[in-house]
């Protein structure tokens, strides 16, 4: 195949055609492009444009390449039922001249007699000298035509635990490592412990919160660290000297072995601490100090200081019966002081009620369930976490959706806390009619199980693929119920963080319910009310998350704007061949609003796409006022929506309580079975207390 010196990669994104030019019953998304590449040739001394190759019929949002030659012309014809509607003609050299250097460029191509086409272009060098489509992984569509035709999975960057300036991340150590805090070996088959991204300090997962010294690789100087330094006067530098170790020795900072035959590392002349030469500058000034013991003392003091503020009255007034006879050392005094509480029966009941209010219950006296109580019927969805299956409660003819999470995947990704947050939100869902409810949760040696109400109407992704887009009345109905659900979550200090078409399900009546709270963030695990984890589905991620800034509930309203746009237009508002280009589009480009949507809808979307999270629609400082009072929602009776009294504009076709026809055949045709974990060593490495009190039966569940 010949190589062209220059080539142009093109992707047609959307068309803006006046309504008076469109045939009856046709919208811009119904138009199909046809591309003719014509070349200038000399015939009898005259220049003529001749088409030498067949007409190309590219799909919307699909890439295709064409070589650039002198005088080559590109003709784009938009057709409806093989009838031309508008056309555009442009020299390929002009398109190349508008391309940025080695980058994606968005251009508007004017059409005749009126209208324009939004295209994405890129200048290529040494490309094949022919016109051919190119597989586009990020925006590939099925053969069913334009519109949203794919499911998009959520992403989540590794969770960072910030302790005293350290940035600890769960890490798989390929070589033996020892904890720099307690000096014990770090056992495990997957991610055995945490390692700081800045200074490489390695610690157990159970020890990372006990680290007391500021990270030497961090520019931060936290108040806690300064207070600790003043209180304990911990600033004793080591006296390191190069040393020949005669037996295998491990670094007391990064935990890995000191390699070499001689002069393998450094050793302190005073406390015999060893480290690599590269780790010397990162070693904390703790010569002769037992970090583990000092950390325990500090945390016990801190725990005692906040006991009154965080406990109910009976707990705050507990009697302390310390034994002062055997308190020779300060640690023993502290342990005797804080570990000798005597609880009465009444006080213990108060404590249990207090903890139940916090965590939404635990293993209680109500009926408990296990896997043998259910029949596995069909697979409804799957991902890296495991599967969601349709199940039947034996002997009851009741059907539920069971989410099955692999324990080893959860532990490897350090997502244990996320499972408890999801459980808590699902329990809380019984207070809101637009959130998927939890029936029960339980576990086996290999899996965690959430048994939830079965929403057999399918998700909005499934339904929008059937009709390409929703009309404004249907969009407004779904938007109102989603707003009620989001505001309920936000009132309870919960950020959803994964709002998308796939997670909005319909019940048998056509009302929506939000599902999948695996990305949710609660106030209990947020820094100053803000979150920082990079997570979400790429098309729906807000600018502040992409920039790595702290963020709050405003990110849900950005995702809500993307969701509304997809329902109204049938396409995503932001585009890119890869994540980097998509994120650049989210940060810099203004979404295109076709004339098929009303001015009120466009105004609402513009306010939701405000890149300033403080003034975004839905937030208190929005200049357009509260979201419920926006002109797009004019005439909405919010009280009736909150009480689920507004009849849905669409009712899904459901044949029976166990009908799964509204879910993708790719999933439902699979065999409903759990994948067993055959690695016995992996099962043995799972801490049996990692998911303590996970089992729960919801007494407030209602069908």
Tell me the catalytic residues: 498
Q: Is 382 annotated as a binding residue?
A: yes
Half-sphere exposure of 337 (CA within 13 A, CB side): 15
Q: Is 394 annotated as a binding residue?
A: no
Is the distance from CB of 73 to CB of 52 less than 8 angstroms? Answer: no
Please check whether residue 65 is in contact with residue 9, taking contact to mean a CB–CB distance below 8 angstroms. yes
403 is in an annotated binding site: yes
Q: Any known ligand binding at 385?
A: yes
**CA-to-CA distance for 629 and 285, rounded, in angstroms?**
59
284 is in an annotated binding site: no
Please indicate if the annotation marks 381 as binding a ligand: yes
DSSP 387-439: EEEEEEETTTTEEEEEEEEEHHHHHHTT-HHHHHHHHHHHHHGGG-TTBPPEE
Q: Is 659 strand, coil or helix? A: coil
Calpha distance 90→608 (Å, rounded) = 36
368 is an annotated ligand-binding site residue: no
For residue 4, what is the enclosing H or E element?
A: strand 3-16
Q: What is the DSSP letter of 366?
A: S
Residue 10 has which token pair? 């093109």
Give the three-state DSSP class for 135: coil
> Do the beta carbons of residue 449 and residue 371 sit within 8 Å?
yes
Side by side, which strands form the sheet with 193-196? 161-163, 166-171, 193-196, 202-203
159 secondary structure, DSSP code: P
Sign of CA dihedral 15, 151, 483, 609: negative
The stretches of 243-365 forming alpha helices (DSSP H) are 291-305, 307-310, 313-316, 330-339, 345-359
Q: Determine whether the annotation assigns residue 388 to a binding site.
A: yes
- Residue pair 381/372 in contact (Cβ under 8 Å)? The answer is no
Token pair of 211, please? Answer: 């680290």
Residue ranges at the known binding site for ATP: 380-388, 403
Residue ranges at the known binding site: 380-388, 403
């Amino acid at each position: 195949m010949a190589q062209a010196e220059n080539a142009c990669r093109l992707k047609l994104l959307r068309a803006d055609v006046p309504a008076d030019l469109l045939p009856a019953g046709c919208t811009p998304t119904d138009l199909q492009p046809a591309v003719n590449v014509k070349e200038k040739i000399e015939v009898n001394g005259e220049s003529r444009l001749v088409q030498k190759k067949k007409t190309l019929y590219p799909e919307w949002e699909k890439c295709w390449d064409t070589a650039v030659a002198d005088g080559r012309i590109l003709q784009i014809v938009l057709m409806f039922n093989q009838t031309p509607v508008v056309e555009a003609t442009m020299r390929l050299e002009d398109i190349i001249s508008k391309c940025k250097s080695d980058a994606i460029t968005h251009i508007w191509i004017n059409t005749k007699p009126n209208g324009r086409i939004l295209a994405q272009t890129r200048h290529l060098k040494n490309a094949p000298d022919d016109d051919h489509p190119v597989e586009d992984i990020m925006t590939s569509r099925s053969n069913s035509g334009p519109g949203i035709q794919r499911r998009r999975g959520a992403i989540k960057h590794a969770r960072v635990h910030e302790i005293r300036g350290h940035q600890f991340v769960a890490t798989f150590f390929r070589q033996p490592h020892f904890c720099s805090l307690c000096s014990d070996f770090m056992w495990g088959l997957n991610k055995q412990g945490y390692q700081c991204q800045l200074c490489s300090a390695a610690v157990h997962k159970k020890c990372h919160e006990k680290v007391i010294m500021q990270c030497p690789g961090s520019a931060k100087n936290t108040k806690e660290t300064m207070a600790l330094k003043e209180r304990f006067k911990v600033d004793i530098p080591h006296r390191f000297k190069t040393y020949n170790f005669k037996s295998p020795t491990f670094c007391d900072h990064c935990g890995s072995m000191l390699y070499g035959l001689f002069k393998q590392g450094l050793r302190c002349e005073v406390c015999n601490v060893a480290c690599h030469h590269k780790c010397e500058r990162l070693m904390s000034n703790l010569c002769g100090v037992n970090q583990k013991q000092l950390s325990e003392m500090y945390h016990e003091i801190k725990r005692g200081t906040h006991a009154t503020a965080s406990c109910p009255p009976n707990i705050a007034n507990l009697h302390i019966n310390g034994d002062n006879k055997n308190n020779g050392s300060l640690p023993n005094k502290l342990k005797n002081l804080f570990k000798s509480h005597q609880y009465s029966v009444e006080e213990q009941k108060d404590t249990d009620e207090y903890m139940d209010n916090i965590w939404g219950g635990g293993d209680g006296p109500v009926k408990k369930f296990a896997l043998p109580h259910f029949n596995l019927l069909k697979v409804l969805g799957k991902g890296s976490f495991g599967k969601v299956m349709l199940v039947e409660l034996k002997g009851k003819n009741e059907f539920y959706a069971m989410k099955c999470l692999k324990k080893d995947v959860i532990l490897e990704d350090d997502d244990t806390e996320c499972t408890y947050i999801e459980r808590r939100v699902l329990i809380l869902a019984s207070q809101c009619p637009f959130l998927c409810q939890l029936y029960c949760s339980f576990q086996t040696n290999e899996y965690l199980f959430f048994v939830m109400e079965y929403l057999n109407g399918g998700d909005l992704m499934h339904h929008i693929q059937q009709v390409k887009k929703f009309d404004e009345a249907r969009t407004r109905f779904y938007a109102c119920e989603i707003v009620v659900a989001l505001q309920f979550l936000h009132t309870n200090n919960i950020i959803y963080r994964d709002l998308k078409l796939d997670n909005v399900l319909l019940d048998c009546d056509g009302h929506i319910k939000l599902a999948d709270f695996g990305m949710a963030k609660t106030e209990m695990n947020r820094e100053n009310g803000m979150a920082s984890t990079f997570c979400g589905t790429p098309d729906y991620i807000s600018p502040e998350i992409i920039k790595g800034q702290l963020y709050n509930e405003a990110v849900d309203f950005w995702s809500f704007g993307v969701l509304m746009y997809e329902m109204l237009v049938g396409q995503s508002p932001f585009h890119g061949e890869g994540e980097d280009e998509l994120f650049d589009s989210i940060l810099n480009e203004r979404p295109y609003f076709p004339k098929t949507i009303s001015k009120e809808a466009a105004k609402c979307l513009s306010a939701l796409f405000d890149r300033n999270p403080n003034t975004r629609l839905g937030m208190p400082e929005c200049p357009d006022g509260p979201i419920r009072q926006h002109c797009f929602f004019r005439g909405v009776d919010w009280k009736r929506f909150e009480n689920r009294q507004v009849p849905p504009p669409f009712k899904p076709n459901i044949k029976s309580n166990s009908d799964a026809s509204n879910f993708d055949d790719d999933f439902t045709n699979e065999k409903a079975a759990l994948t067993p974990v055959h690695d016995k060593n992996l099962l043995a490495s799972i801490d049996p207390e990692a998911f303590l009190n996970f089992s729960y039966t919801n007494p407030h569940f209602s069908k």
